[in-house]
Amino acid sequence: MSVSDSQVAFIGTGIMGLPMAGHLLKAGYPLRVWNRSAGKAASLGAAGACLCSGPAEAAEGAQILVCMLSDGPTCDAILFGEQGAAHALAPGALLIVMSSIPVATATAQAQRCASLGLRYLDAPVSGGERGARQASLAIMVGGEAEAFAAGQPLLSVMGRPVHVGPPGTGELAKLVNQLIVASTIATVAEGLLLAERGGADLAKVHEALMGGFVDSPIWRQHGERMLRQDFTPGGPAKWQLKDTRTALAQARELGLALPVAERVDALFADMVEAGDGDLDHAGLIRQLRRLNHLPPSLSGVTP
């Protein structure tokens, strides 16, 4: 089946979903789109997508449905609720859930799809808004090998898909990713506070550590955000907290104690409680400054 013959539905065109859907349009996929806030999908309509009034309408007869919603309960309600989108898909269609949801939710969704004669992939992403815009997302995919082979061409338009195992393991890989991201952001923030208190030039410290073992997208991008105090959300802290909570629940189910993750989770919880949940997760440095009774701004850095 050629790209032009593959009717694709895309549900959820928020910060990440909008550019992801845009790449599919540019690649030639006929796209039917629904978003709860219709205005967020308007630019896709102007680019040639069919804007739909509901999720079932978007999914009607589609061979592939991509879901990029906020959490597990929302996905379940939109996909499998009364007049849910999954029930409107073509027989044998492929449902790709790219949301960050619990492992158990993904495995249950796979089972529901099987009972409906559908194929299923859980394919959460990492890379933030920048990765979505640049089509460079890391895409961790759980599902059957045949389903992955069917979905790989479409997923490759949005980033770099890797098949990591059976249904649910894509979400498990995303939890690993989120724990590492959260703890690294916290450590970058602590390092910058230490450099500030010791009197170093923060911009030069940021530059000096590039190329060494510390260097990473988080050091470069989120460290720069902290220096510029630009916390416009690419990945809101409230979503980071959702993911660390989910990861810790999974760890407890597996009998694991993850003390570093637990402390970082508590810091993000305090950040959200303080009213910063809608800021980018790099804004955790604000919480660390509150913890140390420091003013909101880094000294010597212009907002």
pLDDT digits (tens, 9 = 90+) for 226-261: 999 999 998 899 999 998 999 999 999 999 999 999
Q: Is the pLDDT of residue 2 over 80?
A: no
What distance in Å separates the CA atoms of residue 5 and residue 143, rounded to the nearest whole number? 24
pLDDT of residue 165: 98
Of all residues in the chain, the percent with pLDDT exceeding 90 is 90
What is the maximum alpha-carbon separation in the chain?
A: 65
**Are 121 and 170 a contacting pair, CB within 8 Å?**
yes
Burial class (CB within 10 angstroms; exposed 0-12, middle 13-18, buried 19+) of 46: exposed
Q: Is the pLDDT of residue 263 over 90?
A: yes
What distance in Å separates the CA atoms of residue 44 and residue 29, rounded to the nearest whole number? 12
pLDDT of residue 1: 47
- pTM of whole model > 0.85? yes
pLDDT of residue 303: 44
The answer to whether residue 204 is catalytic is no
Mean pLDDT of 11-39: 95
**Are 258 and 303 a contacting pair, CB within 8 Å?**
no
Q: Is the pLDDT of residue 11 over 70?
A: yes
Mean pLDDT of 58-67: 97
pLDDT digits (tens, 9 = 90+) for 196-232: 999 999 999 999 999 999 999 999 999 999 999 999 9
CA angle 212, 214, 219 (to 5 degrees): 120
292 — pLDDT class (breaks 50, 70, 90): very high
Tokens at 205, concatenated? 């410290």
Nearest CA among 148, 180, 168, 11 for reference residue 102: 168
**Long-range contacts of residues 109-116, Cβ cutoff 8 Å, at least 24 apart:** 109/75, 109/76, 109/79, 109/80, 109/167, 110/143, 110/167, 110/168, 112/80, 112/86, 113/86, 116/86, 116/87
Please report, in angstroms and rounded to a whole number, the separation of the first and last CA atoms in the chain: 52
128 — pLDDT class (breaks 50, 70, 90): confident
Domains of the chain by range and CATH?
3-167 (3.40.50.720), 172-291 (1.10.1040.10)
Burial class (CB within 10 angstroms; exposed 0-12, middle 13-18, buried 19+) of 269: middle
Q: Out of 26, 174, 204, 238, pick the active-site residue.
A: 174
